[in-house]
Amino acid sequence: MLWFFFCVAVLVLGYFVYGKIIEKIFVINPKRQTPAYSMNDGVDYMPMSKTKIWLIQLLNIAGTGPIFGPILGALYGPVAMLWIVLGCIFAGAVHDYFCGMLSIRNGGATMPNLAGKFLGRPVKVFINVMALILLLLVGVVFVASPAQLLGTITMDFVGASGAINVTNAEDLHQAVEASNLTVWGMDKATVISVWTLIIFCYYIVATLLPIDKIIGRIYPIFGALLLFMSVGMVYGLITAHLSAADPIEFFRTINADGQGLTWEKFTQNFQVKGDVPIWPLLFLTISCGALSGFHATQTPLMARCAQNEKEGRFIFYGAMITEGVIALVWCMVGLAFYENPQALQDAISAGSPSKVVYDSSLHFLGFIGGIFAVLGVVVLPITSGDTAFRAARLQLAEIFGLEQRSLVKRLYIAIPLFVLGFIVSKVDFSVLWRYFTWANQMTAMVMLWTAAAYLYRYNKFHWVCSIPAWFITTVCGTYLANNKIGFGLDYQLSVYIGFAITIVCIICFFTLIKPFAERDEDAYVTN
């Protein structure tokens, strides 16, 4: 348990130390007017308090990624927590900060426009397509996972209300799963479909209405559920660990012989594991919570509401650090709740990571507490899915030059967008997740290269973005070459290809990107 609290402490320290360094490298200008005032339209551009923006930003970026990803990543052992901590501080939070601040400096511009400005028009075209695919996948993925959890909650509540005479939370859930229980004549699959429809309807409303009408008002309630979930699961882990009757031993997934977590056992996590090698799969499996390109599609939404540049570190860097803490909590659940990695894998295979979420929440917090914890998990994908479709609408509006003050103009984009999303939702979840993880990190790669180009052009210390960009480029290149959704090449060859792609990108970067000669950024008129 001390390892968990040590990782959390390092994340907090990263915010105060490395976050401050990043802020100094960027050079904020508190006197500069932000788009919230200069472009206020009462729909997407409007000033909001930094605390509310931070909460909305956290809920926007923290979908199922910082929960499902760390649970899957726990199959690799405690090394997964290292990636969460180091990735969050030196890559993810840096990525989010520069995306947010560059958007503020450029009139609330979306990430594709930023990429086009600093990397060139061909990159803008590429990332426009990539970001739209990612947003669509996120919207669809973040319908399926909460609908499944809400369907399970509904069935268990009906069972608990008298349909099934079992008092123990875990026995009740198992009894419901084994029964032919129905709700108003609907089986579980139909109940999940109804929840899917309800969530889609909410997404439509949240996508069309001004940001302060729905999102700005109900997110504080969602935030309370998120806080309960995070604190509740930590409490459950601690009390389970201290239990005299049946204590949970952390990291028992690799110390079944009772010898504890030795250095030799820890290094075993880095060894190739059949067709799921740690390089590059760990760095795609755990994205949200460490480094996520989806954040680049969401962050400009809040950049349009920030009142002052000095709020950027708290809003953008701080929200990412908080998401890292959530990821650590669920990684610990994956490491501690099951007897061994095979038991964790069996649970995931039986019902996706959502089964791990549901079963562990009921075990640690009982039926009522467990349900509230699961609801805290449910709000994360819902609050990311609604803004995913919103961001897609705004990005398409930029591409086609459609103003968004008029509801009719918003409907022109929203209706075909949701129709397409509904069609894609029929694809198998596991297939969607594989494409989502790759598209996610590809988007992060482009954003980091964009931030590096900005720093390099203005003669600032670009290495804080360049090095993470090189790293994730190698990861994405290796994955695309090796994975079945890519070219399916030999693993060793794929690793060489990944490094070769990175070297080519580095050469192009320093060859094609030219620094401005003593140019004053504040005097530069943006478009």
- Whole-angstrom Cα distance, residue 475 to residue 486? 13
DSSP state of 167: -
Half-sphere exposure of 105 (CA within 13 A, CB side): 22
Q: Which residues touch 170 (CB under 8 Å, ≥6 apart)?
A: 359, 362, 363
CB 99 within 8 A of CB 451: yes
Q: How far is CA 21 from CA 80, 174, 313, in A?
A: 26, 51, 10
* Phi and psi, residue 186, nearest 5°: -105, 135
- Work out the number of other CB atoms within 10 angstroms of the CB of residue 231: 13
Q: Which residues touch 361 (CB under 8 Å, ≥6 apart)?
A: 232, 233, 236, 369, 370, 371, 373, 374, 377
Closest by Cα among 73, 95, 25, 93 to 448 = 95
- Whole-angstrom Cα distance, residue 279 to residue 270? 8
From first to last of its 527 residues, the chain has per-residue pLDDT tens of 778 899 999 999 999 999 999 999 999 999 999 999 999 988 789 999 999 899 889 988 887 778 888 998 988 888 899 999 999 999 999 999 999 999 999 999 989 999 999 999 889 888 888 888 888 887 777 787 888 889 888 988 887 776 676 666 777 777 777 777 888 888 888 998 899 889 888 888 877 777 556 666 776 777 777 778 888 898 888 887 777 666 666 554 444 444 455 555 555 555 555 567 888 989 998 988 899 998 998 899 899 999 999 999 999 999 999 999 999 999 999 888 887 778 888 888 876 788 888 888 888 888 888 888 888 888 878 877 877 887 888 888 878 888 777 778 888 888 888 888 878 877 776 677 778 888 889 999 999 999 999 999 999 999 999 999 999 999 999 999 998 888 999 999 999 999 999 999 999 999 999 887 656 566 554 44
In this prediction, residue 214 carries a pLDDT of 65
In this prediction, residue 68 carries a pLDDT of 86
- Whole-angstrom Cα distance, residue 320 to residue 335? 22
Q: How far is CA 407 from CA 32, 275, 403, in A?
A: 31, 49, 10
Closest by Cα among 94, 22, 77, 39 to 262 = 77
- The label of the residue with tokens 């990397």 reads 119
Q: Which residues touch 227 (CB under 8 Å, ≥6 apart)?
A: 376
For the chain, the residue count is 527
- Whole-angstrom Cα distance, residue 328 to residue 248? 17
* Phi and psi, residue 183, nearest 5°: -120, 115
Closest by Cα among 238, 201, 169 to 8 = 238
- Whole-angstrom Cα distance, residue 301 to residue 108? 8
Helices 429-457 and 121-158: crossing angle in degrees, nearest 10, is 140
In this prediction, residue 272 carries a pLDDT of 55
- Whole-angstrom Cα distance, residue 249 to residue 253? 9
